[in-house]
Amino acid sequence: MTPPLDDILDRVYVVALPMRVRFRGITVREVALIDGPEGWGEFGAFGEYEAPEAAHWLAAALESAYCEPPQPRRDRIPINATVPAVEAERVPEVLARFPGARTAKVKVAEPGQTLADDVARVEAVRALIPTVRVDANGGWTLDQAVEAAKALGALEYLEQPCATVAELAELRRRIDTPVAADESIRKAADPLAVTKAGAADIAVLKVAPLGGISSLVTIADQIGIPVVVSSAIDSAVGIATGLRAAAALPELQHACGLGTGSLFVDDIAETPAPEDGYLPVGPVAPDPARLHALAASPQRRNWWIDRVRTCHRLLADR
């Protein structure tokens, strides 16, 4: 049952977190945090998402804030280093923020960059970390993805190399590198369609766009391929939720994309640094002083409050 809107709005804080580098086209990450009776929830649907899609993110935030979390099966989660689409020379600086990481995810197919840029970045990462995966966010055509798979060398997997399920399925037939699906799961009416079409070897699942931990765990149980739990450029609250989701899964074969907190100049809580490539599982409560210092402008707060109202209406109607 969806909690009453007035109660939710009484619990909302909106923050703007400055980022170290441009990531996914942004340099400031805004999220609405909800101080609920069972913990903190995070509503951070990206600004371009329309209300029907953003409502899933609010559902996830409300689940975290108002519902007891599942029992964990493990107390720490292996994480990958995350390397934005930076110049190859900056790779050591980025990787230094992920002590002990044995896997790195590298952003590729960035608008305005070339495959040569991607190759240079991946090679710089590979010189320091043994296992490399790349994420194209659907930015390649089928032929470009085939070319990139050859040029980039041995990879753990290509994440969302092409935009459509049909392209992913065809790509799997044309290359030996495993293919992971992200947007084709979290933006799909049927998140299981990728495996029905034989379009993915690995499923990248994110708590917020899937509607919460319970939904993610259900999809992981039904999808029939290994799962990687990842973040959506979450604050410390969202990362803690992702870690709880990963801890609840019966199996976890791959490092998870939950180390993105290092992308922020400042966050709403002081959190542990990765130790030997792992992050601990546990609740996170924002520091009141940081909530104040990182508060979004009144205009942006009002924008988010209006968005909560709209998405809440959709959830209540469902």
Known binding residues for Mg(2+) are: 135, 159, 182
- Of the residues 105, 107, 187, 196, only one is catalytic, namely 107
| CA dist., res. 149 & res. 163, Å (int) | 16
First to last CA, the chain: 10
107 given a catalytic annotation: yes
Residues 297, 298, 299, 300, Cα dihedral to 10°: 50
206 given a catalytic annotation: yes
DSSP codes, 25-91: TEEEEEEEEEEETTEEEEE---TT--HHHHHHHHHHHHHHHHSPPPPPS-SEEEB-EEE-S--GGGH
**Which of 208, 269, 243, 241 is CA-nearest to residue 43?**
208
- Of the residues 105, 150, 187, 206, only one is catalytic, namely 206
CA atoms within 13 A on the CB side of 94: 30
| CA dist., res. 173 & res. 73, Å (int) | 36
Contact 255, 79 (CB under 8 A): yes
Going by the annotation, the residues of the binding site are: 135, 159, 182
Contact 147, 129 (CB under 8 A): no
CA atoms within 13 A on the CB side of 21: 15
What residues are labeled active site?
107, 206
